[in-house]
Amino acid sequence: MATPGQPMFTRAPGPAARLALWSALALSLMVLDARFNALGWLRAGVVAVFYPAQLAVRAPFDFAAEVSGFLVRHRALQNENAALRETTQRAHVQLARLGSLDRENEELRRLSLLREMTGFDSVAVEILSTPRDPFSQRMMLDKGGSAGIRAGQPVVDGMGLVGQVTRVFPFSTEVTLVTDRGHAVPVQIQRTGQRALVFGGGSGMEVRYLPTHTDIQPGDILVTSGIDRVYPEGLAVAKVSRVLRPTDSPYARVSCLPMAGIDKSRVLMVLKTQDASGQPAPAQP
Amino acid sequence: MNYEMPSFPPRIEPRQEWRVIALTLLAAFLIKQMPWHGWALLLRPDFVLIMLLFWAQRRQDGISFGLAFALGLMADVQDGVVLGQNALAYCVGVFLVQHFRRRLAMFTLRHQAMQIFPLLLLTEVVALVTGWISTRTPQGGWVIATAVTGTLLWWALAHAGRMPAAREE
């Protein structure tokens, strides 16, 4: 059946042949990207081209937030002001406590002649976009290599560890969240000091390879142990939510939930760890 | 249902037509870039894919695979997945729509939408399966949700864009 405006006998390849051609191209791209990790430059180029578009699309939302901020009623503002004041006060108290803990910590370290603790430099970043990707838990941040971010650095929010930088572009960064299935963090149970590995599990996390008799219970906090030299010691990672001790397996099944507001926080911090030479956990699936 | 072949709406002047296509695709791309989160993100249809399929059916000469491929690559980078995954899915989608175009035009829009749904599901499954082969285990079946919202979006778009169809009785 000839379409009007199209010659009936053409020498060009038919649609099925062209589809096969393009599919072959797509498959070879996928092999190059997934197996040989050879297309970083292409990805970085596309990201650089569309970075302004991403910013432009976000601008009206920021603007709308500002405008709606103006229109909030006076009463609501007063309430919020009071609430905020209270929160600041509480935060001040906490800060003072944290400060004293920090100092105490420093002293103890010096006393015990452990290695010199260095405070980490950090970069505040905002979430640029959250891709809908059914295979992994990732997001893009709005600063990149130009701000000193390197692959492998940990990303935290006010409550705990969020993830690890896996790809760095000049002006943006891709973070793999701790809930990603390919992501493992060496941790310590805060209460007992027992070391363990916590793996991402989609929406939550799980501790694997802990013997059934291990002393672990719901409510325990897991903090980074620092032995991998990627994550600094003592960052809160997860809270144990459920412990099963099956009789037919040598290992306990421990489910936990991330401490950080993985899908709530907007502003995050990238820690410029001193030794970021550690390999990023899953550089490429 | 009448079985006479509905004529395609008159061609838009070529240069004008490309401008319209480019603008609508750009709009779809930008909408996809907006900071979606929560339920909206789970239910978010793939705007670019829907727009592409719409034009593949609506435009008399269809859409080239090259354009579908390029847009797919952009989606791959945007989602941070393996390069080529969405590109392949988009090409398959465009091929299917163009293959069934004449047949689709004989149905009412409602019946067309019912046939677009499995088509969308198939393209999403193509992306899922290729992604699964090249990476790790998938995380669940949001795909069906986005295929549903995508079909609804297609239906609205087809209404607004005067998609050739049999008249509703």
pLDDT digits (tens, 9 = 90+) for A164-191: 999 898 888 999 989 888 889 999 998 8
Closest to B146 measured CA to CA, from B44, B38, B32: B44
What residue type is assigned to position A27 of the chain?
A: L
Fill in the amino acid letter for A1: M
Residues of B in contact with A285 (CB under 8 A): 82, 134-136
Flag whether B165 is in a domain: no
Closest CA to A199 of A183, A212, A221, A223: A183
Residue of B nearest to A180 (CA): B139
Q: Which of A5, A31, A138 shows the shortest C-beta gap to B80?
A: A138
Q: Is B35's CB within 8 Å of A130's CB?
A: yes
- How big is chain B by its Cα radius of gyration, in Å? 16
Is residue B96 within 8 Å of B117, Cβ to Cβ? no
Interface test with B, best of A1, A3, A18, A23 (most B CBs within 10 A): A23
Q: B10: pLDDT confidence band, cut at 50, 70 and 90? A: low
Note whether residue B169 is domain-resident: no
Pairing assessment for the beta strands A221-224 and A236-244 based on DSSP bridges: antiparallel
Backbone angles phi, psi at A200, to 5 degrees: -70, 150
- Given a cut of 70, whether residue B140 has pLDDT beyond it is no
Rounded Cα gap, residues A185 and B111, in angstroms? 51
Question: What ipTM goes with this model?
Answer: 0.81
User: CA-based angle A71:A76:A78, to the nearest 5?
Assistant: 115
Phi-psi region of A4 (alpha: psi -120 to 50; beta: other; left: phi over 0): beta
Of A5, A28, A39, the CB nearest to B60: A5
Backbone phi and psi for residue A264, each to the nearest 5 degrees, phi listed first: -115, -45
Residue B115 structural domain: 14-160
For residue B4, being part of any structural domain is answered with: no
Tell whether A42 lies on the interface with B, counting CB pairs under 8 A.
yes
Mean pLDDT confidence for A62-86: 80
Integer-rounded Cα Rg, in Å, for chain A is 25
**What domain count does chain B have?**
1
Per cent of chain B over pLDDT 90 is 34
CB A46 within 8 A of CB B33: no
Q: What is the pLDDT of residue A117?
A: 35
Reported as a single tens digit per residue, the pLDDT across B20-68 is 899 999 899 888 887 777 788 778 888 999 999 999 998 878 888 999 9
Contact yes or no for A135 and B138 at CB 8 A:
yes
pLDDT band at A4 (very low <50, low <70, confident <90, very high): low
Does residue B128 lie within any of the structural domains?
yes
Residue B81 lies in a domain: yes
CATH number of A119-277: 2.40.10.340
Residue B2 lies in a domain: no
Query: Is the Cβ pair B77, A29 closer than 8 Å?
Result: no
A202·B69 Cβ contact <8 A: no
pLDDT score for B125: 86
Other Cβ atoms less than 10 A from the Cβ of A85: the count is 10
Distance from CA of A190 to the nearest CA of B (A): 30
pLDDT at A104 over 80: no
In a domain, B153, yes or no: yes
- Looking up tokens 């249902």 gives B1
Residue B136 lies in a domain: yes
